[in-house]
Structure 1
Amino acid sequence: MRALVPILEDIAASPDDRSAQALLEIIAALRPRDLEAPGAATQRLRALISTLQTRPHLAEGLRHYLSALFASRLQRSLFADLGILTNDSIFGAITKRVVSKILPPAHDDTYLQDLFAALVSEAKGQHWIAEIPEQVIAELLRVIGFGSAYSGNERRMEAEMIEALRILSFRLAALGLEPDFLRYDSDAASHESPFVAQTDEVQSISSAAFAALSDRSLPWPDWSHLDVLLQQCEQHVARIRKLARQGGASVALTYDAQRAGQTIERMRKLVVLAAPDSSEAQQRRKLAFFRELLAHEAEKNSIRALLVRVTDLLALQVTEHASRTGEHYVTSTASEQAALFRAAAGAGVIVAFMAIIKIYTAKAHLPPLWEAIGYSLNYGLGFIVVHLFHFTIATKQPAMTAALLAATMDESRDGKPPLDTLENLVVDVLRSQFIAILGNVAVAFSVSLGVGWLWMQTFGLNMVDTAKATILLSDLRPLASLAIPHAAIAGVCLFLSGLISGYYDNKCVYSRIPQRIRQLAGLKRWLGAERVNRVAAYIENNLGALMGNFLFGCMLGCMGTIGFLLGLPLDIRHVTFGAANLAYGLAAQGFDVPVQLVVSCSLGVAAIGLTNLLVSFSLALYTAMKSRQVRFAYGRHLFGRVLRRIARRPQDLFIPPRSANTKDAP
């Protein structure tokens, strides 16, 4: 209070001063210092209240000062802009925030929003302000003299809120007429749009509201019809988001849908807050609104907050496609399990040959760039061949099944997720993952071992020289090498490949690539209409998988070269390739390998597989749950149910139950 009292005395001496410096000094005096106990700001505020109560002239001076300060600044931009995405593109908004962090914008005394920015800057954030109890702030306002009677300052604020409402009304109409919106909203394109109709309603009732603010005897206009129109706008936005799940979504569409939702929400608040009401409930609503604005101001230049706000819905579109793909990786019957094993075994055969191609590419000692291209083409084209033959790479499953689990968690009823369905699904996922890994690893190891042995019998020399065989085996030892960290890097690549697949599936539908292919006259003349239709249908169903597999191979192939260029120990370890390398190493050593080394390398392959799965599954599940805004509080309960199920029926991890009760679950 020793710092605050002189500031209050200066304010009382010149209450008509419209400079914000005194208010900034008050904020600086109230702000908690480093290492102070929680609640220090609240204690200072209570002391300020006591001082104002004992010295009424200070309270009167502060009231005049704050009234003049707020009345001299335009308030509509604060109500219409703060907390709502701008009309920039997503990349433009990011660029603007980066520039604002480096070179903050100049403050303009004409606008109240700039005063808010200065207050938050002086407060070093708004977290301690948010922690102050609402009743303490309400008591401070009562002592100063705000809210006790309907004042001219409140009347000006309400008029500014109505002006902000008109601004938002026009912005919402422009958003509703965006081409991306009209593409999904045929009703708005062919009939009168509620986005346009609400502007006429706002203009009509805002004129009546301004008249009621000037003449208190006039009735306050009825806003109920506007509320109906805003509900219709919300329904249109919700329908667009729903249709975008099947028709694909772009960053711009997602960004505009967020802007529309925020604009509608702000218009609803302004309709309530602009009413001439001096009740205690209305004062609490206004206080809550201003605290919300402070929070928005604190994160106005946050790039992370912008990305989180915008990318959640776009991530939902991507993971939605991944969850539908994940259904094909989960088996619940014996026939499905047998088919999955055959698909995994076929992939194991191809991986055995991909592994030896990689070994010979490394043996060529190409320059780093060409070596990376060689590795990438080997991996990428090999994974595409796996897909073309409808085979399965086991480690690709987690990125897809995690999205399926998140989609099932989202089917909650009365706030409780379907635990029975989730239990069955988790067991099915574990069993499917086990059989897929068994098919990949066992067949890749067996084929590699057989190829190495046949090469020796046919040509009389080892397929892999002894020095390379030693390196292959040592790279698999879990404690004597970087096998586990490298397996984690491969897990991240697996997770990214799942997102890439979902992204291209979404892009294929949104950009209408199949329809555009069918319209290519030259291609029709060359291949014929029937073949072009088949090509378009194949692209529609497989573009995401093809791009995900190829780019996954590129990530694996380039990782070692990137590590070399950066001087970092970056590389990848994949469980199926690890099994193939173990077989080639054993064959090259003439099977004369110490038992301890065989055991260590076998454990290394198992650890690599576990790391691949855990990293990719964890990242994919986190992304899928976050995109759906699923907060799963039943993890321990579900984990316990799964453990009891395994203890009661351990065969369910290897053999599907006769009654496939999980078929109708997802």
Structure 2
Amino acid sequence: MDTDSVEDLLQQLRAHLDADGAPALLPVLRAVVDWLRPQDPRRADQAVERIRIFHAAITADTDLHQGLQALLQEGLGEARHLPLYTEIGLFSRRGFLKELGQRVYEKINPRPRDPQNLRDVLALVFDHPEDPQWVVAVPDDAWLMLLDCFEDLGREGGPALKRAREQVLYALEMLSLWVAAEELEPELLRLDPRIAERNSPFVAQEREISAYVKDYNAWLEDPQRTFHDDRHARVLLEQCAEQIQRFHRRAVTHGSSIGLTHLLQRLDQTLTRMRDLLDMLDPEDPVKRRCTAARLFRALVVENARQRCIKALWQDSVRLVSRSITEQSGETGEHYITRDRREYLQLLASGAGAGLVIALMALIKIHILQWDLSPGWETVWVCLNYGLGFVLIHILHFTVATKQPAMTAARLSAVIEAGERGAANQTQLAELLLQVGRSQFAAVLGNVGVALPVALGLGWAALNLFGAPLVETEQAHYLLHGLRPLAGLALFYAAIAGVWLFVSGLIAGYFDNRCASLQLGARLRDNPHLARVLSPCLRQRLADYLDHNYGALAGNFLFGVLLGITGWVGLVLGLPLDIRHVAFASANLGYATSVQDLTMPVFALHFLFVLLIGAVNLWVSFALALYVALRSRGVRLGDLRQLSHAYVQAVRRRPLEFILPPVPEPEDPEATHGSGKPRNDAHDP
């Protein structure tokens, strides 16, 4: 970055300007960016320093400075800006498969680049894969300093500024028309039929934007004319954004789809782009214009690179699929978080009920393994035992502790999304984590606290009353060996169970979403085939039940199938695959203890192994679910150290609330009258 290197750049620029024929804009821009590009894309400070050096050198060379300004005026005055604003950074209106095919073909046989199209110019100038990394890291003031090297571009009446305004106004009007046209999308009409009314904000913003563009052009022709500001247009754009948020909320109860999620994301992107274009057109705030231009430039460089990348298309599509599913899980997760003593005791009781059923399921599995069936039939019966058992637990309104993380993670991501700039309010998130941890403890305590003693009691009762143990001695040794973290691979198998727990949450979200989208309840109520065999009352009850429980039933049954089939898959592949689940592990410990003379230290050690299995179940499923939920919403946890500090402080302030419900606050004596009735300061109607 010495004087010699910048002199080499200036020499290249002079050669381009002095070349035979009309000088081209593209080679000049490429030469400048190639010189600014740091060798290490993480060293954006090098690019900033080069911008300063280039600014000083170019302004000191008057002839070269004026020649470059004239070249940019002419080149930008004839270029097409529209694709830059209406294509880059906005989701394609093609489906995933068509878009994928288009990108693959572009990789194999790229289309010729048009030097008059600024989108192609951007792609040709910033053509290194690492360019987005350093371009984003360079601050606004550095890019504005580079723009100041060519201050003549902003001259009123110049061809560059005139063309830029013309294209921005046209892009604004086109984007406005697209937003208005989306009102007729069947998916949006399904969510809210009222948007077809004439006072829809989508149509209203198009009329206002059209009037704004017309008046803006008239003001450009006659600057003495009163300027038509954009305040009303911005209000209508905000109303459109609020309507999109209502669509998101309705999609939770009315069902979503990949197409709907894609459409809502595209609408959000379009409204954001329209606000940026309005900022760039605002003649009353030059600082906002410049800052918006710099921010939009960086975003365009990043998105232009992503729109040529197959991997980016796949990531966007996965994120859309994840969001359409986790919306349902986030709504369900609210019910798995306890905030007071009543909710805590309810969760504890429901966990205890699940522990009783799981103790019986574990016993049934033990006997299935004693039937000496072929591996295939054994797997079928084990899958049915697990699947139907989990379905029974749900029907009885009981709670399996390890099913919670996949639901609560989506709820956590929703809280993070509501935070500032996509990062969580750390104090609020720490409080929610405290509530989630307490809820998990209550459910695990209910499961293990009942499954273990019930299994132990059944084993002792069978041995003492009937003289026949429920578990053979050899099988008891096998059950205890399976609890050992390393020798029995218990923690590895627990991690596999955690993955299936996470997958079952996605399955439940998918089927809940599918149920709402298809309006399954209404279909069943009016089904002509069911009408022949069921009374209207029974059809209504069946429809209502499945409408609210379809996803949970499917998720629980398929979770059982996944648990049951894992061992068979391992047998077929010759791999050590199996599952360990904390509730079943505690029941297995109880059955094994009933026929084994375990000392208290040995029993305590194996009980510790059970708790370790539960910890792995919970953390693997929670981590995966939280990762997917965060990625689907495009948010992040923020500073983990700050979050850890906030969480530790919350535990220190209320250590008992880490595992026990909060103590109810005493009633304020000032809030009641002498009669004990609540005080009401409002006047009676």
TM-score scaled by length of structure 2: 0.82
Deviations 1:454-486 (A, max 9, x none): 555677665444443332211111242321122
- Offset of 1:75 from its aligned partner? 1.2
Query: After alignment, is 503-512 or 461-470 more displaced?
Result: 461-470
**Maintained 8 Å contact 1:368/1:561:** yes
Identify which of 627, 636, 642 aligns with 2:651: 642
CA distance in 1, matches of 2:428, 2:56: 59
CA distance in 1, matches of 2:349, 2:124: 66
State the partner residue of 1:66.
72
Q: Is 1:490–2:497 an aligned residue pair?
A: yes
Query: After alignment, is 244-253 or 572-581 more displaced?
Result: 244-253
Equivalent residue runs for 1:470-509 within 5 Å: 470-509=477-516
Q: Is 1:129–2:129 an aligned residue pair?
A: no
Identify which of 358, 378, 381 aligns with 2:385: 378
CA distance in 1, matches of 2:56, 2:45: 17
State the partner residue of 1:13.
18
**Maintained 8 Å contact 1:409/1:422:** no
State the partner residue of 1:116.
122
CA distance change for structure 1 residues 91 and 639 in 2, over 3 Å: closer, same or farther?
farther
Q: Is 1:78–2:84 an aligned residue pair?
A: yes
Q: Is 1:40–2:46 an aligned residue pair?
A: yes
Amino acid at match of 2:237: L
**Maintained 8 Å contact 2:59/2:65:** yes
Q: Any idea what SS the aligned residue of 1:121 has?
A: coil
**Maintained 8 Å contact 2:16/2:24:** no
Query: After alignment, is 145-154 or 614-623 more displaced?
Result: 614-623
**Maintained 8 Å contact 2:17/2:23:** no
CA distance change for structure 1 residues 456 and 97 in 2, over 3 Å: closer, same or farther?
farther
Query: After alignment, is 278-287 or 354-363 more displaced?
Result: 278-287
CA distance in 2, matches of 1:221, 1:46: 38
Equivalent residue runs for 1:214-225 within 5 Å: 221-225=228-232
**Maintained 8 Å contact 2:354/2:393:** yes
Deviations 1:517-561 (A, max 9, x none): 111123123111011011111112222221221121122223334
**Maintained 8 Å contact 2:442/2:659:** no
Amino acid at match of 1:643: R
- Offset of 1:106 from its aligned partner? 4.8
CA distance in 2, matches of 1:4, 1:410: 46
- Offset of 1:56 from its aligned partner? 2.3
State the partner residue of 2:332.
322
CA distance change for structure 1 residues 237 and 421 in 2, over 3 Å: closer, same or farther?
closer
Deviations 1:27-83 (A, max 9, x none): 223211149955222333333233323332222332333344434432101111111
CA distance change for structure 1 residues 540 and 39 in 2, over 3 Å: closer, same or farther?
same
**Maintained 8 Å contact 1:345/1:440:** yes
Q: Any idea what SS the aligned residue of 1:146 has?
A: helix
Q: Any idea what SS the aligned residue of 1:126 has?
A: helix
- Offset of 1:186 from its aligned partner? 3.3
Amino acid at match of 1:319: S
Amino acid at match of 2:517: Y
CA distance in 1, matches of 2:463, 2:608: 27
- Offset of 1:88 from its aligned partner? 2.5
CA distance change for structure 1 residues 38 and 354 in 2, over 3 Å: closer, same or farther?
same
CA distance in 2, matches of 1:125, 1:389: 57
State the partner residue of 1:609.
614
Amino acid at match of 2:652: L
State the partner residue of 1:591.
596
CA distance change for structure 1 residues 224 and 366 in 2, over 3 Å: closer, same or farther?
same
CA distance change for structure 1 residues 118 and 642 in 2, over 3 Å: closer, same or farther?
same
Identify which of 153, 177, 181 aligns with 2:184: 177
Equivalent residue runs for 1:12-411 within 5 Å: 12-14=17-19, 16-18=22-24, 20-34=26-40, 39-89=45-95, 93=99, 106-122=112-128, 124-147=130-153, 149-150=155-156, 151-210=158-217, 212-213=219-220, 221-274=228-281, 279=286, 282-300=289-307, 301=309, 302-303=312-313, 306-307=316-317, 310=320, 314=324, 317-326=327-336, 332-333=341-342, 340-362=347-369, 370-402=377-409
**Maintained 8 Å contact 1:12/1:60:** no
CA distance in 2, matches of 1:575, 1:217: 78
Amino acid at match of 2:614: G
CA distance in 1, matches of 2:577, 2:148: 63
Equivalent residue runs for 1:477-556 within 5 Å: 477-556=484-563
**Maintained 8 Å contact 1:41/1:132:** yes
CA distance change for structure 1 residues 274 and 432 in 2, over 3 Å: closer, same or farther?
closer
Amino acid at match of 2:296: F
CA distance change for structure 1 residues 383 and 94 in 2, over 3 Å: closer, same or farther?
farther
CA distance in 2, matches of 1:198, 1:655: 50
**Maintained 8 Å contact 2:339/2:661:** no
**Maintained 8 Å contact 2:336/2:404:** yes
CA distance change for structure 1 residues 305 and 163 in 2, over 3 Å: closer, same or farther?
farther
State the partner residue of 1:574.
581
CA distance in 2, matches of 1:210, 1:466: 91
Aligned length: 651
Deviations 1:120-169 (A, max 9, x none): 22473222233334444334333334345221111111111122122212
Amino acid at match of 1:6: Q
CA distance in 2, matches of 1:18, 1:417: 51
CA distance in 1, matches of 2:610, 2:257: 40
CA distance in 1, matches of 2:44, 2:373: 62
CA distance in 2, matches of 1:622, 1:582: 33
- Offset of 1:222 from its aligned partner? 4.7
TM-score scaled by length of structure 1: 0.85
Amino acid at match of 2:615: L
CA RMSD of aligned residues (A): 3.9
CA distance in 1, matches of 2:238, 2:435: 42
**Maintained 8 Å contact 1:158/1:275:** no
CA distance change for structure 1 residues 421 and 361 in 2, over 3 Å: closer, same or farther?
same
In structure 2, stretches of 5+ residues that fail to align are 668-685
Q: Any idea what SS the aligned residue of 2:131 has?
A: coil
Amino acid at match of 1:505: D
CA distance in 2, matches of 1:36, 1:407: 31
CA distance in 1, matches of 2:114, 2:182: 29
CA distance in 2, matches of 1:375, 1:312: 30
CA distance in 2, matches of 1:123, 1:430: 42
Query: After alignment, is 525-534 or 268-277 more displaced?
Result: 268-277
- Offset of 1:614 from its aligned partner? 3.0
State the partner residue of 2:670.
none
Amino acid at match of 1:473: L
Amino acid at match of 2:592: G
CA distance in 1, matches of 2:414, 2:334: 9
Amino acid at match of 2:612: A
Deviations 1:356-404 (A, max 9, x none): 3333444567666555444322211111112223333222234445556
